[in-house]
Structure 1
């Protein structure tokens, strides 16, 4: 189920999938905000909700730059928001939620592996 991370390149490729998921979440959130504010009042949202969009874009940038903190925060914030939605709208699991969770877990693994391989590379070079 989990990808094999064997070097810095596979770690980068795997981690950057987490960055892509963060961008997708930011886009979905932005579209939902715009629709909610202008077309349908499905969710009670205002312009402050764009803060979520900014947070996930910052997380995407951090993961892209191989930040372990950003990878962990991506999964943590994603799940906190899912829990809040479940509390207010009822428990609903989706395939997308499971996929995003797996990609974030992979991203965490990959960012940690990347730094491990980077450290090993520096030790060999020294």
Structure 2
């Protein structure tokens, strides 16, 4: 049976579903967004504890709440395989830890910070590898319709 002239043309718009993504790349990205969620929950928990007990009032203010929101938004971006989110999360976390060390004068939580930085760096690498795999060369794209020459 022939197609109707009134039937709209069809195309496979989401080509990323047909491309096989290696397990190690998916794992890097997954570990990155999970690490970001854990970091956000830990920051939120410490912030709420500090607010409720009144301890460390100098270190926790409205900007800590903004920090939590940024971390969760970046975690969602990493989940969606965003290169910007993964790169910004790595840089944001690194700069925040450097500023805390400069402010307090002691490298507290250095081992935990290194673990998070490792996962953020791996997520950054994973998102770049993912986009390299799904990138389709323009030469391999075929025209969908024959357009008559003028």
Using the size of structure 2 for normalisation, the TM-score is 0.71
Q: Which residue of 2 aligns with 1:79?
A: 94
Determine which structure has the larger helix proportion and give its number: 1
Q: Which residue of 2 aligns with 1:16?
A: 30
Note the residue ranges of structure 1 that are not aligned, 5 or more in a row: 1-5
Give me the CA root mean square deviation.
2.4
Stretches of 4+ aligned residues off by more than 4 angstroms: 120-126
Aligned residues: 121
- CA pair 21-28 structure 1, distance change in 2 beyond 3 A: same
Using the size of structure 1 for normalisation, the TM-score is 0.83
Displacement of 1:47 in angstroms is 3.5
Query: d(CA) in 2 for partners of 1:111 and 1:85?
Result: 28
Structure possessing the higher relative contact order (Cα contacts under 8 Å, 6 or more residues apart):
1
Matches within 5 A, 1:30-69: 30-44=44-58, 45-69=60-84
Query: d(CA) in 2 for partners of 1:13 and 1:120?
Result: 22
Query: d(CA) in 1 for partners of 2:131 and 2:74?
Result: 18
User: Residue 23 of structure 1 contacts residue 56 of structure 1 at CA under 8 Å; is this kept in 2?
Assistant: yes
Q: Summarize deviations over 1:40-63 as a string: whole Å, max 9, x none.
A: 422522244211110000000000
Q: Summarize deviations over 1:66-122 as a string: whole Å, max 9, x none.
A: 000000000111011101110111231522111111111111110000011112599
Note the residue ranges of structure 2 that are not aligned, 5 or more in a row: 1-19, 143-150
Larger Rg: 2
